[in-house]
Chains A and B, each alone.
Chain A
Amino acid sequence: MYKHLIVNIDELWLKGKNRKHYFKTLREHVHLVIKAHNTEEKVSIRNDQQRLVAESEAGFSKDCINSLAKVPGVSTVQPAISIEREKGLILPTIVEKLKGELGERITTFKVRCKRVDKTFPHGSMDLQRELGHFLLKEFSQLKVDVRNPEIMIDVKVMQDNIFISTEKLKATGGLPVSSSGHVITMISGGFDSPVASYMMSKRGCKQDFIFFYAYPYVGEEVKEKILSICSVLGQFQKGCRLWVVPFGEIQNTIAKDCYEEYRTILFRKYMVETANLLARRVKAQAIVTGDALGQVSSQTMQNMSVMDKFSEKMILRPLVGFNKIEIIRLSQKIGTHDISVIPHDDACSLFSPKHPVIKADYVYMRNYSMEFDYTKLMEKALDESEVYRIDVLGECEEVIK
């Protein structure tokens, strides 16, 4: 196990005066993840110019490294060996490491040296050349490939030590969670909303999830599915919550009161309004949905703009320009795909009108809301919600009221 991790940070170059805050936020998140994996061990994390360096005597597990690679704001994670700042130690360390790692299939390599501390007397280019030369001699199977090497040997000369690493995990990137605000993400069991959540995690949004649970029209298995999805999405968050809002009664009431073709869009309207009520309660600034323009009837330009009129908070639609296949691919990448494909009862299909309205009339919907005031019903539903807390590793726990 590696005792050192170099956590490289994304988009730091875009930051000016707020860089310190940005660093602090990310560092807290990294610390939470490492502590969640290494509960007993003493871990130190220090800022090292453009990066964070974590150190643990007991070492970092693969799981811990993979979790760190999900932290928004981290660009890459490099497990590293730390040696003293002596040039003579570099080559033997690399040789020993490569002996353990080089199978028959690895035939090309590249050495990349970087002097973070310029007081080190040997130039990066010289070191690269020299190390490359010796490695070619030591391992007859190896050839240099500077463009596309199968193994990249990274040597970083720091102020107090030298880091050697051969692995670099690409991480989520983007901005640290909480650096760009707090949103309520409307989550369902499909492909879209989990991907929308991931997109907003990447852009530094702290999220709370809201799921509209249409019991008795759908059953426990749907709730379990949502919990599984949120468990994946929570790994991109710095601790978040899920509200499971009982919505069957409201849907049934709407279905009774409205024109059949307006059912879906009215369900949607009251979901957005309930999400707004929650946003007010938890002081969130926006609502996130998985809408993609034109995908289904409720996502036409007209219907989306009507929805905006009923939402006090801004509605963010990170997938608005995505094709379905692009969304599905992203869901595979983030790990929600295999949960989303599990078939489940969908209340909407039971209620769904034969011809859902695609150009909703704002005036009808406004008059409807004035005639039938569901505010109390929505408040009651929120009060009766089951609330789950989800930690940085995605562990869900119900909050006992």
Chain B
Amino acid sequence: MIYLDHAASTPIVESALNIYIKSLREDFANPSAAHKLGKSSMKKVERARQLILKSLKGSKKDQLIFLSSATEANNLAIKGIKLLPSDRVHYSVGDHPSTSEPVKSLNSQLVEIPLLEGGVIDEAKFLESLDKDSKLVVLSHVNNQSGNHYDILSLGKKVKDKFPNIHIHVDGVQGLTKVETNLSSLIDSYTISGHKIGAPKGVGALFIKDGVEVETQLHGGGHEFGIRSSTVNTPLILSLCEAITAGLEDVITNNKKVKRINSLMREELEAADLGITFPFSLDDTSPYILSFLLPSISSDIVLRHLEMKDIYVASSSACSSKAKGFNAGFDAMKIDQSKHKFVLRTSFSKDTTTEDIETFVKEITNIIKEIKRL
């Protein structure tokens, strides 16, 4: 099997799995219980919280709220910030629906962050669009479809230089452990997903900078500092902590390694002369995601041909839009609508090998040639 859909979900990290199983067995008590079993479980959770904050270069005073998913984290951050109807919220329709949809549910003024061809933010226009009523800017660390990697610190600084009180929320799902992450300043909230980085599904976290107020969206027993009620899930949290700390060990080395994989894939696909084009440059993207345009063949068809060869990728034409093949994200990235359904996304892990790429290119070459012949 060649699995090239790590951006959708990636296998669990062995050490995170071991910790998870061990904790499932041992930490059965309710961490909120008054007895020592519960307290010991809670202690482990607090240790994990501090460890993650430290590894993200946050301070002890910052908050990290454990929750069920990145979607929940993005919803909490976006809906939990106090906004007036006259306040302006800047967001990108090209971002994942778990940020763009909660933004659309807000009763405030929505302003789209302008993108250039290739999915890059039109920085000058974006900064120009900010004004005194701008209260929230929602960014992705790495775009899940195009792989575009945004320099959130530089962008955050420029935003804060103009209007220091703007809240900057970053969806870090595709960024954390893949590209460098530093939450020591500038970023007010940051979303983390477990299953994209080798933890199990069903766990995520929201980083909240010290001093930032986020209103609870889930009322109940007052868990997680009253911000997110729900019984604290020790095994998932410990496993998440392990996946993050393990993943952060060699971010730069792994990034370089995957960059070579990404380059190799680009070169080989170009050499195969299939008519594949690359709308997103390697310089602007995380090397972990490589989306490309097939030569007028629906990516769904190629995806299914590949799955018959036990190779797994993502087709980006799957979307909720009624018009089959229209993708609002690609539209914002200036990709012609007629080409949206030709986008095929591959995404790698640090363990993806050059053999994987060579086999993939060989198989997709055969498939495209076969379909083209029709």
Interface positions of A (Cβ within 8 A of B): 215-217, 219, 252, 255-256, 343-345, 350-351
Chain A residues with Cβ below 8 Å from B298 are 345, 350
Known A-B contacts A343-B322, A344-B324; the reply to A219 vs B374 at CB < 8 A is: no
The yes or no answer to B371 lying at the interface (CB within 8 A) is yes
1/0 contact string of B303-319 vs chain A (CB within 8 Å): 01101100000000000
Minimum CB–CB distance from B127 to chain A (whole Å) comes to: 39
Contact of A216 among B307, B322, B374 (CB under 8 A): B307
Return the chain B residue nearest A352 by Cβ.
B374
Complex-state Cα separation, A267 to B70, whole angstroms: 47
Minimum CB–CB distance from A250 to chain B (whole Å) comes to: 14
Count chain B residues whose beta carbon lies closer than 8 angstroms to a beta carbon of A: 14
Chain B residues with Cβ below 8 Å from A216 are 301, 304-305, 307-308
Chain B residues with Cβ below 8 Å from A345 are 298, 300-301, 324
Nearest 7 A/B pairs, CB to CB: A216-B304, A343-B324, A216-B305, A255-B374, A219-B300, A351-B374, A217-B301
Complex-state Cα separation, A217 to B371, whole angstroms: 9
The yes or no answer to B323 lying at the interface (CB within 8 A) is yes
Chain A residues with Cβ below 8 Å from B308 are 216
Interface positions of B (Cβ within 8 A of A): 298, 300-301, 304-305, 307-308, 322-324, 370-371, 373-374
Chain B residues with Cβ below 8 Å from A255 are 374
Contact of A350 among B307, B322, B324, B371 (CB under 8 A): B371
Return the chain A residue nearest B324 by Cβ.
A343
Minimum CB–CB distance from B374 to chain A (whole Å) comes to: 5
Complex-state Cα separation, A344 to B317, whole angstroms: 12
Interface SS, B side: helix
Complex-state Cα separation, A216 to B363, whole angstroms: 15
Known A-B contacts A343-B322, A343-B323; the reply to A350 vs B304 at CB < 8 A is: no
Complex-state Cα separation, A219 to B341, whole angstroms: 14
Chain A residues with Cβ below 8 Å from B373 are 256
Return the chain B residue nearest A217 by Cβ.
B301
Contact of B304 among A215, A252, A256, A343 (CB under 8 A): A215
Minimum CB–CB distance from A183 to chain B (whole Å) comes to: 32
Complex-state Cα separation, A216 to B322, whole angstroms: 22
Complex-state Cα separation, A217 to B300, whole angstroms: 8
Minimum CB–CB distance from A272 to chain B (whole Å) comes to: 22
Complex-state Cα separation, A319 to B307, whole angstroms: 39
Minimum CB–CB distance from B340 to chain A (whole Å) comes to: 13
Known A-B contacts A343-B322, A344-B324; the reply to A350 vs B374 at CB < 8 A is: yes
Chain A residues with Cβ below 8 Å from B300 are 219, 345
B304 touches A219 (CB 8 A): yes
Return the chain B residue nearest A351 by Cβ.
B374
Other 13 A-B pairs with CB < 8 A, given A216-B304, A255-B374:
A215-B304, A216-B308, A217-B301, A217-B304, A219-B300, A252-B370, A256-B373, A343-B322, A343-B324, A345-B298, A345-B300, A350-B298, A350-B301
Complex-state Cα separation, A344 to B318, whole angstroms: 11
Chain B residues with Cβ below 8 Å from A219 are 300, 304
Chain B residues with Cβ below 8 Å from A344 are 324
Chain A residues with Cβ below 8 Å from B324 are 343-345
Complex-state Cα separation, A345 to B305, whole angstroms: 14
10 A-B pairs with CB atoms under 8 Å apart are A215-B304, A216-B301, A216-B307, A217-B301, A252-B370, A252-B374, A345-B300, A350-B298, A350-B371, A350-B374
Complex-state Cα separation, A345 to B318, whole angstroms: 12
Minimum CB–CB distance from A341 to chain B (whole Å) comes to: 9
Q: Counting chain B CB atoms within 10 Å of each CB, which of A219, A252, A255 scores highest?
A: A219
Minimum CB–CB distance from A338 to chain B (whole Å) comes to: 12
Minimum CB–CB distance from A111 to chain B (whole Å) comes to: 49
Return the chain B residue nearest A344 by Cβ.
B324
Chain B residues with Cβ below 8 Å from A215 are 304
Return the chain B residue nearest A215 by Cβ.
B304
Minimum CB–CB distance from B229 to chain A (whole Å) comes to: 37
Minimum CB–CB distance from A185 to chain B (whole Å) comes to: 26
Return the chain A residue nearest B305 by Cβ.
A216
Minimum CB–CB distance from A212 to chain B (whole Å) comes to: 16
Chain A residues with Cβ below 8 Å from B307 are 216
Return the chain A residue nearest B341 by Cβ.
A345
Q: Counting chain A CB atoms within 10 Å of each CB, which of B298, B308, B322 scores highest?
A: B298
Complex-state Cα separation, A343 to B322, whole angstroms: 8
Return the chain A residue nearest B317 by Cβ.
A345
Chain A residues with Cβ below 8 Å from B305 are 216
Minimum CB–CB distance from A221 to chain B (whole Å) comes to: 9
Minimum CB–CB distance from A65 to chain B (whole Å) comes to: 33
Complex-state Cα separation, A4 to B3, whole angstroms: 61
Complex-state Cα separation, A215 to B323, whole angstroms: 22
Complex-state Cα separation, A32 to B362, whole angstroms: 56
Complex-state Cα separation, A264 to B323, whole angstroms: 26
Complex-state Cα separation, A146 to B124, whole angstroms: 76
Minimum CB–CB distance from A217 to chain B (whole Å) comes to: 6
Complex-state Cα separation, A256 to B374, whole angstroms: 8
